A and B are shown apart, each in its own frame.
Chain A
């Protein structure tokens, strides 16, 4: 390999990945033929799962290495284009691939905060970080903090912050892996987690960053093909135009007309909707009354309610002709009956807000910040802007992404590489809003108004698989589906699109493989970040700087196993809300890293005291605010300026910047050597320059 020049290397990479893409498409076509020959879906699901995981493991084995620079930064010769693809896969997680279109389906304009936030952040990466980090040219983000702020304290805070945000994020990914493998193969959730994890480990264990990079390129190709095919197909079907991103403007107008019709009580469909909404309104009222009574009378009321449910079970069982289904339902209700006043309050509140949401008219898809009055709209707008800010700054601070820009051959390539990264990410992100509108049009025009006796196959299938993804019930008993009778989970939109478009099962398998690629590639990058922070920054830089290469790599690989096992264990406990975990990781990274990293390059006066103060106060306030306001922790303190806990980074970033500035100005300027280091990273090449790059 060393004899090869960079351009020869680039040419052969292009050749390999063209062959690979062709091979993958042939594989999908072969499976399509097998499906036509009558091979059952379950077998196809297994073939997809094991073929792709096997492929990733194969690339891992081929890229195995014992060289430190190859292990940590892929030998610093990843061309801009390929680093762009790898960053794309590293970046796009299970949440982007599976959840995003569904979030847009449910939230309309307000969901665009994620689309803008997760793309616009790359502008900050390009302008403030990538070229300078590349010039600095070491292995990890704490490396930069340690060198720029002169000491182990800033480095240690960096390590802790990197572990906190990467670990939070990796749990969300492994959860996604378990979900997809269990749904498409019928394996247990926990088994699915470990199968997926085995694939991740073979890859990163043997080849570190080098293996992860080349696998991520392969994963990007799979995930983008898997996302585009159903979207294009649906677009052709509905509009005759094969470019969904252009075609959906027209569908959006039609969705707008349908929304008006469904909200207009004088039309037949509007009146039918209204009758269902009235039932939801009554339910909300009943839940509200129960809550009021519970508040007034506490335990006594709860006991009374429980007795009523028990009585109903007994009554049903005692009937002359026992109705098995009804008894089962009543028994389930009894089993799920809340144990104490706190649990009952929470459960009934959820019932109330759910029913209230269903009772409201549908809000227009393209309408921003819909609220019942001016004040509520203003609050939504404020939170939208705050969330966009946190997601963007968080993007420019997540260590597993920034680390990727250490792997390019030069500063010049690093700059180009950010452009490619965003381009490849953009391809998926500007398709997601299109997919959301196309699916919405299908639901509003085909599913709503159809008969319960003849539901479309995809509705029946998914309702049977998982009630949280798709549930449908004839609430007003008119035999016709109304919009207020359907509940669609956010993950359904992408997973069910192939069936909505009437595509064969093989495309569903492809979508699952794409989702798996998205989750695995992100998990790979995150696990490596955590293991590297521990092995490189803690072990090599702080504990034993004389450790020989073999021992450094052995420690790193050992830690990788420990971290992966720990992450899988935590995931199998199924903690909390996945979307919140993802959002939290961004706010935490933004608060901890962004001010110290950017001011470290752009403000020579920034010094160690400033960095320590800024990082600690930013991270501290962010964690404190989440703890105080996120319902999961049960404190529920009043919010500051109505900002939601997911956007806690707003406070963290602000305080972080103030901390760096104040701390630096109160103490003396950094030494000559540090100032020379700042000049060093600012210029791609200087005469008589110092050397910071590790080979």
Chain B
């Protein structure tokens, strides 16, 4: 089995998407927790924002990250002809 340039490009794109989403994950997890005392000064939907992120906001972002990744990768599989047969 020989990989073509197209295959390599698929993998590069996958790694890019993975890296980008991991960056977002890092921000809503660790940056948001680190600055939680400061974020709490801001009010959001009646909650202090720092608390809201830990209790709901970051969780919603996680669900969106995974949903986006699945959608984007399933598309990418088709674009690059590496999708599975139905």
Restricting to B29-62, which residues have a CB under 8 Å from any CB of A? 29-30, 33-34, 36-37, 40, 45-48, 50-52, 54-56, 58-60, 62
C-alpha spacing A418/B70, complex, angstroms: 9
A interface, size bucket: 35 or more
Are B3 and A679 neighbours in the complex by a CB distance under 8 Å?
A: yes
* Chain A residues within 8 Å of B55, by CB: 112, 115, 430, 433-434
* Chain B residues within 8 Å of A366, by CB: 40, 47-48, 50-51
* Chain A residues within 8 Å of B10, by CB: 683
Q: How far is the CB of B51 from chain A (nearest CB, A)?
A: 4
C-alpha spacing A419/B21, complex, angstroms: 14
Are A690 and B1 neighbours in the complex by a CB distance under 8 Å?
A: yes
Are B56 and A250 neighbours in the complex by a CB distance under 8 Å?
A: no
Are A419 and B70 neighbours in the complex by a CB distance under 8 Å?
A: yes
Q: In the complex, what residue of chain A is closest to B30 when comparing beta carbons?
A: A385
Restricting to A109-128, which residues have a CB under 8 Å from any CB of B? 109, 112, 115-116, 119-120, 122-124, 126-128
Restricting to A643-682, which residues have a CB under 8 Å from any CB of B? 676, 679-680, 682
Q: How far is the CB of B41 from chain A (nearest CB, A)?
A: 11
* Chain B residues within 8 Å of A689, by CB: 1
Are B69 and A127 neighbours in the complex by a CB distance under 8 Å?
A: yes
Q: Which stretch (A12-20, A193-201, A421-429, A607-615) binds chain B?
A: A421-429
Does any Cβ of B come within 8 Å of A411's Cβ?
yes
C-alpha spacing A419/B69, complex, angstroms: 9
* Chain A residues within 8 Å of B70, by CB: 126, 412, 415-416, 418-419
* Chain A residues within 8 Å of B18, by CB: 127-128
Q: A366-B48, A433-B55, A683-B82 are in contact. Are A123 and B25 (CB under 8 A)?
A: yes
- Interface of B: prevailing SS: helix
- Interface of A: prevailing SS: helix
Q: A116-B29, A388-B33, A392-B29 are in contact. Are A412 and B74 (CB under 8 A)?
A: yes
Q: How far is the CB of B34 from chain A (nearest CB, A)?
A: 7
Q: In the complex, what residue of chain B is closest to A415 when comparing beta carbons?
A: B70
Restricting to A2-52, which residues have a CB under 8 Å from any CB of B? none
Q: In the complex, what residue of chain B is closest to A688 when comparing beta carbons?
A: B1
Does any Cβ of B come within 8 Å of A139's Cβ?
no
Q: In the complex, what residue of chain B is closest to A433 when comparing beta carbons?
A: B55
Are B1 and A123 neighbours in the complex by a CB distance under 8 Å?
A: no
Which of B46, B47, B85 is close to A685, meaning CB atoms less than 8 Å apart? B85
* Chain B residues within 8 Å of A419, by CB: 63, 66-67, 70
Are A388 and B40 neighbours in the complex by a CB distance under 8 Å?
A: no
Does any Cβ of B come within 8 Å of A379's Cβ?
no
Restricting to B16-32, which residues have a CB under 8 Å from any CB of A? 18, 21-22, 25, 29-30
Are B84 and A109 neighbours in the complex by a CB distance under 8 Å?
A: no
Are A429 and B1 neighbours in the complex by a CB distance under 8 Å?
A: no
Which of B36, B54, B67, B77 is close to A115, meaning CB atoms less than 8 Å apart? B54
* Chain A residues within 8 Å of B51, by CB: 109, 112, 252, 366, 368
Which of B15, B33, B47 is close to A252, meaning CB atoms less than 8 Å apart? B47
Are A684 and B82 neighbours in the complex by a CB distance under 8 Å?
A: yes
Does any Cβ of B come within 8 Å of A237's Cβ?
no
Are A368 and B36 neighbours in the complex by a CB distance under 8 Å?
A: yes
Q: How far is the CB of A684 from chain B (nearest CB, A)?
A: 5
Which of A122, A123, A245, A683 is close to B56, meaning CB atoms less than 8 Å apart? A245
Are B56 and A109 neighbours in the complex by a CB distance under 8 Å?
A: no
Q: How far is the CB of B22 from chain A (nearest CB, A)?
A: 6
C-alpha spacing A252/B81, complex, angstroms: 52
* Chain A residues within 8 Å of B59, by CB: 115-116, 119-120, 426, 429-430
Q: A366-B40, A368-B37, A415-B73 are in contact. Are A116 and B58 (CB under 8 A)?
A: yes
Are B50 and A412 neighbours in the complex by a CB distance under 8 Å?
A: no
Q: A415-B69, A419-B67 are in contact. Are A684 and B30 (CB under 8 A)?
A: no
Q: In the complex, what residue of chain B is closest to A80 when comparing beta carbons?
A: B70
* Chain B residues within 8 Å of A690, by CB: 1
Does any Cβ of B come within 8 Å of A450's Cβ?
no
Which of B14, B50, B62, B74 is close to A109, meaning CB atoms less than 8 Å apart? B50
C-alpha spacing A410/B84, complex, angstroms: 7
* Chain B residues within 8 Å of A124, by CB: 25
A-B contact pairs, 27 of them (CB 8 A): A116-B33, A119-B59, A122-B66, A127-B21, A127-B22, A246-B45, A249-B47, A252-B46, A252-B47, A366-B48, A388-B29, A412-B70, A415-B70, A415-B74, A419-B66, A419-B70, A426-B62, A429-B59, A433-B55, A602-B15, A680-B1, A682-B14, A683-B7, A685-B82, A686-B1, A688-B1, A689-B1
Chain A residues with CB under 8 Å of chain B are 109, 112, 115-116, 119-120, 122-124, 126-128, 131, 245-246, 249-250, 252-253, 366-369, 381, 384-385, 388-389, 392, 410-412, 415-416, 418-419, 422-423, 426, 429-430, 433-434, 602, 676, 679-680, 682-690
State the 5 A-B residue pairs at the shortest beta-carbon distance, nearest first: A249-B46, A112-B54, A415-B70, A433-B55, A366-B51
